[in-house]
Amino acid sequence: MDFLSSVPAWKLGLYFIVAICQDFVLTLNWRAIAKEKVLMAVTTSFIISLLSFWVLYNILADLDQNRSLISVVVYAAGIATGTFLGMKFKLKESI
């Protein structure tokens, strides 16, 4: 269980929260594209790119067999949670 203690809890929590936000926005992005809401699609795409690259950079910068594994698992759990929340969120229909 050494791999659990090798990454600070605050960092794992941050990866989880960022992943939730990232995939929540990604799900809204896909829905905006499907509804042809161009401004919303472009804006959410930009946000997704920033979040994704920031987390991936940080995980790769701390590349280590133990630290990377737990970081990736926590990040993936956050992504799954973000997808769920994004699917539950209702978009307002514009006239």
Whether 55 is in a domain gets the answer: yes
- Residue 94 in any domain: the answer is no
Mean pLDDT score, 1-11:
70
The rounded distance, in Å, linking the Cα atoms of 76 and 82 is 10
* pLDDT average, residue stretch 21-41: 90
| Tally of domains within the chain | 1
pLDDT tens for 65-84 read 666 788 889 989 999 999 88
pLDDT interval class at 28 (50, 70, 90): confident
Among residues of the chain, what percentage have pLDDT more than 90? 35
Q: Is 15 domain-assigned?
A: no
- Residue 60 domain-assigned? yes
In this structure, what token pair is assigned to residue 24?
């929540």
| 47 lies in some domain | yes
Whether the full predicted model's pTM is greater than 0.85, yes or no, is no
Query: Is residue 73 included in any domain, yes or no?
Result: yes
For tokens 């960022």, the residue is 18
46 and 28 Cβ atoms separated by less than 8 Å:
no
